[in-house]
Amino acid sequence: MSGIWLVSHIALWVLFLVIAIVLVSILRNLGVLAEALQALQHSGGGASIKLQSGAGVPDLPLQTLQGATIRTSAFAGKATAFVIISPHCRPCHDLLRHVTASASAADPLDLGVQQTVIVSTGARDETQALLLQHGVGDDRIVMIDSDSRVAQEWGITATPTMVIVDRVGKLIRQSAGFVAPPARTPESVAHT
C-alpha cells in the first residue's frame, strides 16, 4: 500500500474501532436501563413510594402556610388524598390546575376521596406564589414540607405523588406523576 491508501486504510480502522466502542457503550447502557426497569416492575409497578397497600402511613408534622404545625393524623376520619408537589415541577402545575378546576375541594381524581391535602416540598413563599399563579383558593388545605420529611418517611422519590389513605390512615392507593385528562369539548359531551 502506498501513501494515501495506507492513510485511508488506517483511518477506516480507527473509525471502525470508535464505532465499535460507541456501540458497546450503548449496549451496556441499555442493559443497565433494562435492569432498572425490571427492578421498578418488581418493586410495585414503578410507584414512587415505599409504603404497602393496607399499611399505616407514618404520622408526620407539617406546617400550614401561616406557620402552625399540624400532624398528618389530624386529617383522620375522612378518606384523604395527600398530593405531594414541588413548585418547580411542571406536572405539579398541571395537577394544581386540575385541582383548582374541580368543583369539589375533595376531588383529586375522585376515588372516594373526602378531603385533599396539598403538601408542597417548596419554601413557603414559593408555594404561595404557585398557589396564587393557579388560583388555588382558601378552601384547599395546603401544607408545607420544606425539610422533606414526607419524602424521607414515606419513601417518595418523585413529584407529583398522590397518597390516598382511608379514615384510619391506612394506605389505599398511591400514584406518581400526573397527566391532565383531555379537555371536554361540546362534541365529546354530546357523545357521552
How many CA atoms are closer than 13 Å to the CA of 74, on its beta-carbon side?
13
Element (H, E) at 163: strand 161-165
Q: Residue 87: name the closest of 37, 49, 125, 30 by CA.
A: 125
| Contact of 99 with 180, CB cutoff 8 Å | no
pLDDT tens per residue, range 96-138: 877 776 655 444 455 677 888 888 888 888 888 888 887 777 7
* Average pLDDT of the residues in 153-180: 78
- Evaluate if pTM is beyond 0.75: no
Of these ranges, 36-45, 116-125, 137-146, 153-162, the one predicted with the greatest mean pLDDT is 116-125
Per-residue confidence band for 38, with pLDDT thresholds at 50, 70 and 90: low
Q: Which pLDDT score, from 0 to 100, does residue 84 have? A: 87
Which residue in this structure is represented by grid cell 474501532? 17
pLDDT of residue 48: 47
**Listed range (37-41, 78-82, 150-154, 156-160) with the worst mean pLDDT:** 37-41
Give the relative orientation of helices 124-133 and 90-101 as an angle to the nearest 10 degrees.
50
Predicted confidence at residue 22, as pLDDT, reads 92
**27 has which bridge partners?**
none
Percentage of the residues of the chain whose pLDDT score is greater than 90: 7
Residue 45 reports pLDDT greater than 50: no
Are the beta carbons of 173 and 53 closer than 8 angstroms?
yes
